[in-house]
Amino acid sequence: MRISLIVAILAALGAGTLNVLQVRDKINTLISQRDGYHTERDNVQAKLDTTTREWTKTKTDLAQTQQQLADAQAARKKAEDTATAQTKRADDLSDRLAKTIQDRDAAQADLAAYKGTGKSPEEIGKLVLLIKQDQDTIAAISAEKAVLTRTVARLNNELAKFIGTNTVVKLRADLKGKVVVVDPKWDFVVLNIGDEQGVLENGELLVSRDGKLVAKVVVRTVEKGRSVANVMPGWKLGEIFEGDEVTPAHPAT
């Protein structure tokens, strides 16, 4: 029995020793694997750090390149603007030079003409003054003539009305005006033309819009710069609006 017990104890010790050896081998294997993982991790981390540094540098280089490109584009735009301004200035100077040369040539021609008259500068100055006075006189006479012409036309129109002749009142062929006020209730309009433009009482005007006849009106009241006209019965083809154009129905030849 003792022998059996001893054998059992020895067997148990042998099995325990074997188990210890196996566990130690496994532990050593795990330690080796762990060290390998740590080494691989350290290698991956080192590569990651290197990649991160390279990416950061690339990003910085890209930003610098973009800024340099923007600066180059701004410099080119500034150069183009400067070139355009200089070109315009050169063109302006060329125009001014051409105008100066033209004025110089005209002045030289005038000087040659003055010298050809054989008169002194004082005499030429007097002649220029006399011409200016004559031009002013002609302008005044022309203005007075226009007033007299309008007065004669108005008087002839009133005379025809007084003596009862059935004469058609003719207005200036170039007379043009616009409707400025419309009264649809009483069928009259106010025009922006009057005595100064040659409007006469009982003169007939055609009202049109966009080239289409709208109505015919007859002038009843004439003032200096405006007149009042009534819409003629049977001639209202549409509504009259402010801004419609008026022209003589019977223009003078």
Query: 67 by DSSP, 3-state: which?
Result: helix
Domain locations in the chain as residue ranges = 1-115, 119-167, 177-248
Instruction: Look at residue 3 in the predicted model and tell me its pLDDT.
Output: 67
Segment holding 191, helix H or strand E:
strand 188-191
Torsion angle defined by CA atoms of residues 91, 93, 94 and 97, in that order, rounded to the nearest 10 degrees: 160
φ, ψ at 238 (rounded to 5°): -170, 175
- Fold of domain 177-248: Thrombin, subunit H (2.40.10)
Q: Which segment of 51-60, 136-145, 240-249 scores lowest on mean pLDDT?
A: 136-145
Higher pLDDT among residues 85 and 175, named by residue = 175
Cα–Cα distances (Å) from 108 to 105, 111, 125, in that order, read 5, 5, 17
Q: 145: left (phi > 0), else alpha (psi -120 to 50), else beta? A: alpha
Mapping DSSP to helix (H, G, I), strand (E, B) and coil, where does residue 91 land? helix
H/E stretch holding 240 = none
Residue with tokens 């010790």: 13
Distance from C-alpha of 86 to C-alpha of 81, rounded to nearest angstrom:
8
How far is the C-alpha of 140 from the C-alpha of 245, rounded, in Å? 31
More confident residue, 141 or 105: 105
Contact (Cβ atoms closer than 8 angstroms) between residue 209 and residue 245: yes
Average pLDDT of the chain? 79
Paired strand residues for 227? 191, 222
- Whether 219 and 154 have beta carbons less than 8 Å apart is answered as no
Q: What is the pTM of this model?
A: 0.42
Single out the residue of 126, 97, 103, 102 nearest to residue 114, CA to CA. 126
Mean pLDDT of 34-50: 79
For residue 3, what are the CA distances in angstroms to 16, 24, 177? 20, 31, 149
Residue 18 binned pLDDT confidence (cut-offs 50, 70, 90): low
Q: 193, 221 in Cβ contact below 8 A?
A: no
| Burial class of residue 160 (count of CB atoms within 10 Å of its CB; 0-12, 13-18, 19+) | middle
Q: β-pairing, 204-209 with 177-183?
A: unpaired
- Kindly report, residue by residue over 207-248, the tens digit of the pLDDT: 999 999 999 999 999 998 999 999 999 999 999 999 999 999
More confident residue, 185 or 29: 185
Q: What percentage of residues in the chain have a pLDDT greater than 70?
A: 73
What is the arithmetic mean of pLDDT over 150-165? 60
